[in-house]
Amino acid sequence: MPYLFTSESVSEGHPDKVADQISDALLDNFLAFDPESKVACETLVTTGQVVLAGEVKSDTYLDVQNIARETINKIGYTKGEYQFSGDSCGVISLIHEQSQEINQGVDRGSKEEQGAGDQGMMFGYATNETENYMPLALDISHKILQVLSDLRKEGSEMPYLRPDAKAQVTIEYSDKNVPQRIDTIVVSTQHDEFDSDEKMLERIKNDIIKILIPKVKAQLPEYVQELFNNDIKYHINPTGKFVIGGPHGDTGLTGRKIIIDTYGGKGAHGGGAFSGKDPSKVDRSAAYAARHAAKNLVAAGVADEIMVQVSYAIGVVEPTSIFVDTFGTSKVALSDGEIAEKVMELFDMRPFAIEERLKLRNPIYLETAAYGHMGKEPRTVTKVFESPYNGRVEKEVELFTWEKLDSVEKVKEAFGL
C-alpha cells in the first residue's frame, strides 16, 4: 500500500543552527592552531546573548568572543531590529579544561591505540533513491532552504527575507518504496515588517511558489523534477506573520537538530550530536565513518538501502559491535550478519584509524553545521584563520571526506560484484 514519508530541514539562521555553527567555528579555530586539540564546545543563543560552555584541552588560546561574533555576522544577523546581532550581542565564555579522567582513556602511548572518547552507538545510512545516496525528502528540504538563503543574500527578488527559516517535504512512496510524487511542501520564513499582513502572506506565498520552487527544481535531476506536480499542497508561513525569529524568537542550543544533520528520520540515530566535538568523540567521527561505509556499499551494489551501526566503550580501541541492516534489499547471497563481518574487514573502525582515513584532524567542520553533515559534495578548499595570539594560518583541507566513493572497487572485489 502506498505511504507518505516526511523530512524537514532548517536554515543557517535557525537558532539551533546558529549555535551549531558557533560551536564548529570554535572547533575549527582550535584545530587550525593545534590539530591535537580535544574540544567539546556547547553554545546557547538567545535575545542579545551568547553563552559558550564546554571542555577544551589545547596548546592554543583563542579570542572565542570574536569568533562567535564573526560567525553570527556571516549568517546574516547584522541588524538591530533582529534583537540579535554579532556586533552588539553579549558573549559569555564558560569554557574550561577537559577532565583528566576522560583524557586518560583517550590518549595512549601509541596513537593507533587511542581509545574511544565515549561509549554509545552511531549509525550510517545510504539509499540509492538519490544521486548523493541520501533520503529524497531530506535532500529536497535542504535544497529549498539553501536556495532561499541564496535569495536572501542576493537580495533583489525576495528583499524582505530574514535569516530564520524551516522547510518540510512529504513524499508519497509506492508499496515497493519508490517515490511517486511530492504530496506537501511546508516553508516558514522569517521576514521584514509589511504594511499589511494580508499582502505579506500573499506576496510570500507567491514568491515561494513562483520564484523559489522553480530554482530548486532546476537544481534537481529530471527524475526528481517529475515528482513535482500541480496538486502539491503548499503551506507557506502557515501561522501567518513571522517577523520575530532567530535567537530572539527562540533560544538555540548546540545539538538539537540531529535528525536534520543526518538522514531526516530514515535509518536510525544513536542520539549523539556532532557540532563542537573534535574527532576523538566517536559520536561524530564514527557516524561519519558509518556513513562512508554505507554509501560505498550501496554504490557498489551490495544493496539498494543500507544502515550500518557501530558501537564503542569509552577508552576501548576496538568497536564493541558492528551491525548491518539492508532492509530486504540485499543483492548478494549473504545474510546481513555476514555482510557486517565483511564491513569489519573492509573498514577499520578504530577511532584513530577513522581520524586518519577521513582526515578529521583538520579545520573542516563549520561547513557541516548547516544543511546536513551528510550528502554534500567532497571538495578541497583553502581556509584562512587569524588570531591575535597565534598569527595567521592558511590550510588546504578536504571537506566531506566521508562522502567519497573511494572504496567502491574494494567493496565490489570483497563481495564478488
194 in Cβ contact with 242 (< 8 Å): no
250 is in an annotated binding site: yes
For residue 281, what are the β-bridge partners? none
57: helix, coil or strand? strand
172 is in an annotated binding site: no
277 is in an annotated binding site: yes
Query: At 107, which amino acid appears?
Result: D
For 407, half-sphere exposure in the C-beta direction (CA atoms, 13 angstrom radius) is 24
233 in Cβ contact with 184 (< 8 Å): yes
Gyration radius from the chain CA atoms: 22
259: helix, coil or strand? helix
24 is in an annotated binding site: no
55 is in an annotated binding site: yes
42 is in an annotated binding site: yes
CA nearest neighbour of 165 among 326, 16, 358 = 16
Element of type H or E holding 124? strand 120-127
376 is in an annotated binding site: no
242 is in an annotated binding site: yes
153 is in an annotated binding site: no
- Rounded to 10°, the helix 408-415/336-346 angle is 130
Q: Are strands 90-97 and 49-57 parallel, antiparallel or unpaired?
A: parallel
404 is in an annotated binding site: no
CA nearest neighbour of 188 among 132, 127, 251, 249 = 249
Phi first, then psi, for residue 388 (nearest 5°) are -65, -15
DSSP H stretches of helix in 58-135: 64-75, 100-106
14 is in an annotated binding site: yes
| Residues of each annotated binding site for ATP | 14, 164-166, 241-242, 250, 256-257, 273, 277
| Residues of each annotated binding site for K(+) | 42
| Residues of each annotated binding site for L-methionine | 55, 98, 250, 281
| Residues of each annotated binding site | 14, 16, 42, 55, 98, 164-166, 241-242, 250, 256-257, 273, 277, 281
| Residues of each annotated binding site for Mg(2+) | 16
